[in-house]
Chain A
Amino acid sequence: MELFPILLSLRVATLSTILAGLFGIGLAWLLTHRRFPGRTLLESVVVLPLVLPPTVVGFYLLLLLGRSGPLGASLEAAGLEIVFTWRAAVIAATVASLPLVVKAVQAAFESVDPRIEAAARTLRPAASVFLTVTLPLAWRGILAGLILAFARGMGEFGITLMLAGSIPGRTQTLPLAIYDAVQANDLAQANALALTTIGIVTVLLFILSRLPRVRF
């Protein structure tokens, strides 16, 4: 069995989970704690990758980040190549899992009694309240969101294919390698990779189900 797709997928999913976690928690905090113009618009845009066909999302990311794209051109000038590299796979997975993180964390933040946060705010600055009250009270929902994000990162196919391609040994992630193996009629290889995926995701779901329930 080829190890490269497994290692690449693990790396991509880990990095995309970190990125989606950081952006997602920030966005969720904004959406639950602040009123600002365009809030509903932002909320809708964030969940778009969840409802749009992955190829559509991938297509516009390609336009945005491609060599002639508005963002891609300046990134390339800075020496950072995105499209058809492993970085593109990370971006694809991040975009795909961001809505899952935002939704899960939003729900977790909303479950925190605002009076408790207000009481904390009378005693400490806002940043400290976030770290010592909001996060600890919402951690279970946040962890659930991160695990979903990781699973989504492991399984990302459509956006990755559009943005990173399926270059064996460079950008071919686990799902793409399975597809490739099936196309090449190498069912044993496809089976081994698929079983590996099932194994990783099962372990994650097991961890998720075993998260201690916190009684307050």
Chain B
Amino acid sequence: MLEFAFEYRLDGFNLAPALTADRGVTALYGPSGAGKSLTLLCLVGLRRPERGWIRLNGRTLFDAAAGIHVPPHLRRVGLVFQEYALFPHLTVAGNLAYGLRGFPRDEVRERVEAMLRLLRLEPFGNRYPGELSGGQRQRVALGRGLIIQPELLLLDEPFSALDQMERERLRAEVLELLQGFGGTTVLVTHNLQEAYLMARQVAVIDGGRILQAGPRDEVLQHPRDRRVAEHVGASNIFRGVVISQADAPGGISRGTVVADERAASGVIAWHGERLAVSGPLPPPGTAVEFCIRPEDVRLVWPESTAERPNVLRGQITNEVERGTDYLLRFRMDGAASEAGDIEIHCSEHLHYLMDLAPGKAVWIAFPPDKLHVLTPVPDTGVAG
């Protein structure tokens, strides 16, 4: 288990991440400049934070107060750089063996051969990195980190230097390789899909701070605040007022009693609508922000509007065809500006069935369990 909380200042940027990561893969997900790579450099010991501590499986790697700063090569931490940073003057075998200084010659040879087998690079032991393909280089970089049998493996945007096809193949390959690795892995990425694909745990980082960390579905479905919601693609963020916390049949916008309604634990007033929301709510009268993911917004056939809670009527104002699905913009009837527009992801199939097009009047519904109330962002308060 990796635990850390430290502070590192660099040219006006204040990095202050805190995280607990269990065995398995944790994705450190955030935009460029969020402090992801710098966090890795601090974890491996190439940068020394001013304050805080880093512990790995109970071992203190860094503790500012106690003056502990274990040198990088003694941390049992493997780091795979974004552009691999292989040693160009050493062969593949030489690269792999680099971290095994001081081991008996026979053991080094055995471990290098075993690693070459694992990486499926047996014929390439005597080649130089310049003679390898991008994917092969990446495997060598991964092997160089794994061969020292680290307790923590750090991967810094490992797939960003590859083209799309190779990237998808290598993600699967790396996942396979990591299955044999019993330690903790931290994967840095700015790609949400990659974070979800590769990791069980996701930590969202921005501005040098971990905004939220937890199981990937938890983070994706229940972003803690507006910032996290924006980062994880819950792009429909609204502001409303809590009307009631308790289960109230009258509080549903369309009166019919349905299964969803019993799960509802409250009602939020928004744009003259009363939206049923499941999950805990703050006391009535509180202004809240809440969000729904574009793929969770339901398009409703006209004849079934009465059966569903939280049905809104409006029209499609814009559509973007994205190859396999559509991104629609929906404006509620009576809404004046695009400020309240709702983003909807819709499959090509449904788009065809409903004969959707810009200007078409449609009904949409927010499933109450997909509406998620956000906690106010500290300091800045609730923004419109």
**Interface: A45 (CB within 8 A):** no
Does B197 reach chain A (CB closer than 8 Å)? Answer: no
Listed stretches B78-86, B229-237, B339-347; interface member: B78-86
- Cβ-based interface call for A116 (8 A): yes
A121 nearest in chain B by CB position: B72
Residues of B within 8 A of A116 (CB): 85-88
Q: How far is the CA of A122 from the CA of B41 in the complex (A)?
A: 10
Most buried by B among A113, A119, A120, A121: A119
Secondary structure of the A contact surface, majority rule: helix
Q: Within 8 Å of chain B (Cβ to Cβ): is A115?
A: yes
Residues in A neighbouring B144, C-beta threshold 8 A: 119, 123
Q: Name A118's closest neighbour in chain B (CB-CB).
A: B46
Q: How many residues of A contact B (CB 8 A)?
A: 19
By beta carbon, the residue of chain B nearest A137 is B89
- Chain A 136-195 interface residues, beta-carbon cutoff 8 Å to B: 136-137
Q: Which of A113, A125, A216 is in CB contact (< 8 Å) with B73?
A: A125
Contact B73 A122 (CB under 8 A): yes
Do A115 and B85 touch across chains, with their CB atoms under 8 A apart? yes
Which residues of chain A have C-beta atoms less than 8 A from B89's C-beta? 133, 136-137, 214, 216
Partner of A120 from B75, B77, B98, B148 at Cβ < 8 Å: B98
- Which chain B residues (63-79) contact chain A, with CB distance < 8 Å? 71-73, 75, 77-79
Which residue of chain A lies nearest to B82 when distances are taken between CB atoms in the complex? A115
Q: Which residue of B lies closest to A129 (CB)?
A: B73
Report B-chain residues with C-beta under 8 Å of the C-beta of A121.
46, 72-73
Bound CA span A93–B331, Å: 82
| Assembled-state Cα–Cα distance A125/B45 (Å) | 12
Would you call A32 an interface residue if the criterion is a C-beta within 8 Å of the partner chain's C-beta atoms?
A: no
CB pair A125–B98 under 8 Å, yes or no, is no
Q: What does the 1/0 interface line of A92-133 toward B look like (CB < 8 Å)?
A: 000000000000000000000101101111111100100011
**What residues on B are CB-neighbors of A128 within 8 Å?**
101
**Is A119 in contact with B81, judged by CB distance below 8 angstroms?**
yes
**CA of A132 to CA of B86 in the docked complex: distance in angstroms?**
13
Asked if A133 meets B87 with Cβ closer than 8 Å, knowing A121-B72, A124-B101, the reply is yes
> Which residue in chain B gives the minimum CB-CB distance to A117?
B85
- Tell me, in angstroms, the Cα distance from A113 to B88 when the chains sit together: 10
Closest-by-CB residue of A relative to B78 is A122
- Is B211 located at the chain interface by the 8 A CB criterion? no
B205: shortest Cβ distance to chain A, in Å?
A: 21
Instruction: Spell out B's residues near A (CB within 8 Å).
Output: 41, 44-46, 71-73, 75, 77-79, 81, 83, 85-89, 98-99, 101, 130, 144, 148
The 10 tightest CB contacts between A and B, nearest first, are A123-B99, A216-B88, A119-B85, A115-B85, A122-B72, A116-B85, A122-B79, A136-B89, A122-B44, A124-B73
Chosen A-B contacts, 14 in total, with CB atoms closer than 8 Å, are A116-B86, A118-B41, A119-B86, A120-B98, A121-B72, A122-B44, A122-B72, A123-B98, A123-B99, A123-B101, A128-B101, A133-B89, A136-B89, A216-B130
| 20 more CB-based (< 8 A) A-B contacts, given A113-B85, A122-B79 | A115-B81, A118-B41, A118-B81, A118-B85, A119-B85, A119-B87, A120-B87, A121-B46, A121-B72, A122-B44, A122-B73, A123-B73, A123-B99, A123-B144, A124-B73, A124-B99, A132-B98, A133-B89, A136-B89, A215-B130
